Amino acid sequence: MLKDSFYSTTDELQLGEQLHNLVVELFPICRSITGNGVRETLAILKRLLPLEIHEVPSGTEVFDWLVPDEWNIRDAYLKNSDGQRVIDFQESNLHVLNYSLPFHATLPLKKLKEHLFTLPEQVDLIPYRTAYYQPNWGLCLSQNQLDALAEDDYEVCIDSSLKPGSLTYAELLIPGELKEEVLISCHICHPSLANDNLSGVAIAAHLAQFLQNQTLRYSYRFVFIPGTIGAITWLARNEATVANIKHGLVLAGLGDPGCLSYKRSRQGETEIDQSAAYVLRQQNDYTLVDFSPYGYDERQYCSPGFNLSVGRLSRTPHGTFPEYHTSADNLDFVQAEQLAKSMKACLDIFDILENNKYYLNAKPKGEPRLSKYDLYSDIGGLQVTAESQMAMLWVLNLADGQHNLLDIAQRSKLPFALLVLSVKTLLNHGLLKEVK
């Protein structure tokens, strides 16, 4: 099984450190839905993976949207009349309104305040704000910083550019035995926000690294894309092959202290919905929520014209924790241990998808005499226990071509991994046949 081979090569502490180190490396980059920050991010990921990089020109029609002009930022600041930088993009890239138009002028504080954005209820934090599709210029700062500004004339400079260029995204297809694909999607459009979005980026990159060296039933497609417009662009450019996607996961917000949360696909009870729910129910605490047309890119993959079986795996849902889209979503907020547990949950889900097959009992009339096959003394190299005996009996009883292995796990309340071992043993003894 995937997770077993993974657990044998790394421990949770080591994995968590590797994931957190990648988040640390990516954190300082100022990303947006287009621009050099995305390219710099993908260049770092390309050191780990053989990514295929795509550039889609500004103005390209993608369904009901147009690929926007490309935005890049070099510097931004607010200087008082003494020439001191009281707001400095170099200290935090959240200080600039993301996608801000270029601007340079000297303004009185009263006029300037029309373009300053704060969080009055969280006075120490800088908000993350954007102006993607409503052109504007502005700076973001904490409420305390705003309150400390004296009446003065301030030089405001936003050294940015917004002009025709391209939208950049990357993908990697890891081929398996089947053409049917598992899609893993994460967004790469946020600046220095560690949980949203870098936790998902780091986990996706390490999952791809691991799966490249495995024997796989499904093919796995990883896409690293800007949120919303990136997913829409990818779907528009891959409409002919989207039918290959059988399962999918959007990864976001996977490093915070909260419990794992899974948002079901639009279809609601697909195989990946059931697999993710099964994995989460093995946790002490978890959250399962139904689909809604709001959130991350699952809403694009689940739009009615595609209706893909794509759910979302997170921890604390977006918008429900105080650090969300603020400067508090930093490297201290993301925990290495939580990143590791999130990645292992992904592997548990993939393990189910890889092994969730239908079988037929080769001797369905009555219960087979298992001692005749030495199956009361050995199962897959493990000493037989009452639980492993029950696993064999449950598999044989429900192996009627109508129940897959996950059905059996849910009904028997036995570990999925134990049922996989039972299947292998019963296949080896000619007591089971796989339904093709």
In this structure, the chain runs to a length of: 436
Cα–Cα distance measured from residue 87 to residue 194, given in angstroms and rounded to the nearest whole number: 22
In the block, residue with structure tokens 């014209």: 305
Report the helix count and the strand count for the chain, using DSSP H and E.
Answer: 13, 19
Strands 85-88 and 70-79 come out as: antiparallel
Do 138 and 94 contact (CB within 8 A), yes or no? no
Residue 374 counted as an annotated binding residue = no
| Residue 357: count of CB within 10 angstroms of its CB | 14
Please check if 196 is assigned to a binding site. yes
| Measured distance CA(210)–CA(216) in Å, rounded | 11
**Looking at the DSSP assignment, which residues form a beta bridge with residue 245?**
181
112 in helix, strand or coil? helix
Q: How far apart are CA 96 and CA 427, in angstroms?
A: 61
The DSSP bridge partners found for residue 434 are 359
φ and ψ of 347, to 5 deg: -65, -35
Cβ–Cβ contacts within 10 Å for residue 295, how many?
18
What is the residue whose two structure tokens read 């009361």? 376
Q: Which residues contact 401 (CB under 8 A, 6 or more apart)?
A: 358, 359, 360, 435
Tell me the C-alpha to C-alpha distance, in Å, between residue 287 and each of 197, 259, 310.
20, 7, 17
Q: Parallel, antiparallel, or unpaired: how do β-strands 103-108 and 139-140 relate? A: unpaired
Structural contact between residues 245 and 272, judged by C-beta atoms closer than 8 angstroms? no
Find out whether 159 is annotated in a ligand binding site: no
Q: Let me know: does 167 contact 230? Beta carbons within 8 Å.
A: yes
Calpha distance 223→241 (Å, rounded): 14
**Main-chain dihedrals φ then ψ at residue 330, nearest 5 degrees:** -120, -170
Cβ-based burial of 290 (10 A; exposed 0-12, middle 13-18, buried ≥19): exposed
User: In this structure, what token pair is assigned to residue 182?
Assistant: 């598992």
Contacts of 121 (CB under 8 A, 6+ apart): none
Binding residue ranges: 190, 196, 325
Binding residue ranges for Zn(2+): 190, 196, 325
